[in-house]
A and B are shown apart, each in its own frame.
Chain A
């Protein structure tokens, strides 16, 4: 097993996920399966292969510095679960 229960908990904290205790073993196993599958790549000889920065063989895609119309504020806020006076409203940021 590559991923221990502790790794699993750490990943959950970093991702702000609340993992129910009865699912921990299952998720740990699933994460391990994924990582082990990726191990197949180790079989390939990559000695002369340059690290890949992007999957597409393109570069230098730019836009000109020209202002475009922004969204109407009401529309921008329309999917927000909480809003107030034209702001996105969010719960407590830092805990004591």
Chain B
């Protein structure tokens, strides 16, 4: 039988506030353990939590950017469960009146097809602390140590509908959400620091059926690669179980990235019963239409709109515009290159080509690129003016990567100016014709491709500096 996967994601994103959601403790990552704690986030008796205004602002902005409706009346609830990463034995979250509902994002698949992924809700909640286990795994640890620095760091949880049907779609959805959160600047989205992580729900059903199968969940997946790999593995595993006539057990499984498999947690824990109750220590939140509109107006241009603009204004292909606008930093870098008067298509090619290649090789973010937008723009200007060829530009770029000099200075110092002087090129062309009679004969006897070898020789002898167009013209003339 052929099966169809049904995938839903719960994305947790830490918000980039200075302080925690209900107290004034700092949210700085990597601080000494248990130094960012106070009576409120430690859940000591008698304390009064108060909502950080910026958390509400960021949650509403995220909701608007993800096409949600904002609930004008919203409240917090207690989600009860016993786990030592929560000192209060409940997580302050939102249950029946989350701040945002009914949104969506559109993803573009590798085959060019666009698909809409619906967002059920976005709610605000507090993050939990971190456990350090004494053994290798949680199960073979007799004790664990707890660091409550992260407890109370503000989170939004973005819950999707089960609208994705492949690991690729799930990855694209998460990438899109990350990109939007970065555009509106509400989260650092540093996945390696756990700013953005997803719980993946997946089930299978016979292709074409509209009945949902039993699902499994994988929690806290914090890289795009792991999202795709964990889902791919889990879909295959479920398929095998069903093919063998077995049943899927509804459970949480852990993803082991080293072995590339998911494992049952086999915990004897009862089915969850969170016994949500309204949080009596926090008062309801009422938001007006005027406030919502003001937040909407404060949003920057979002990835989809920016992509459409780059296609229209600069004639970029949908693919190129999609890549350039996938991150706000890259889109702004592109704008910086264009501001120098550089050609847009060349700018896109250089950003997606040599620049990205070098950044990846050194694991650098574009914002930390040794070649800034202005210098890349100037270099592209030199190509457009004919001062250097595209081939020489690659050398200039490598030099720029290593030193802060302007491209003009590098071209001058290294003697990389393109030879456009026809006389000088003609001399080299004559020498090459003289020395390569075989290729000349081949060309004259009808093998037009033989000219390629001659062009190559001229370029080589000019150390790449001859203008390739002039070389081609001269050779064609001389060989008749």
* Residues of A near any B CB (own CB < 8 A): 10, 13-14, 16, 53-56, 58-71, 73, 76-77, 82, 84-96
Contacts and interface: CB of A to CB of B under 8 A. Distances in A.
B24 A59 contact: no
Given A62-B56, A93-B144, A86 B32 contact: yes
Given A59-B286, A87-B34, A89-B143, A14 B53 contact: no
A66 B53 CA distance: 10
B37 A93 contact: no
B284 A95 contact: no
B283 A85 contact: no
Contacts, number: 132
A88 B37 CA distance: 12
Contacts of A77: 34
Nearest to B267: A94
A56 B284 CA distance: 10
Interface of B: 17-19, 23-26, 32-39, 42, 50-56, 73, 75, 80, 82-84, 97, 131-133, 138-139, 141-148, 265, 267-268, 270, 273, 275, 278, 280, 282-286
Main secondary structure of the interface of B (DSSP, over half): loop
Given A93-B83, A94-B139, A63 B52 contact: yes
B143 A53 contact: no
Contact of B144 (A54, A59, A71, A90): A90
Contacts of B82: 16
Nearest to B77: A53
A90 B138 CA distance: 12
A90 B50 contact: no
A69 B270 CA distance: 40
A75 to B, nearest CB: 10
B274 to A, nearest CB: 10
13 contacts: A61-B50, A63-B52, A65-B17, A67-B24, A70-B26, A71-B38, A76-B37, A85-B145, A87-B34, A89-B143, A89-B146, A90-B131, A92-B141
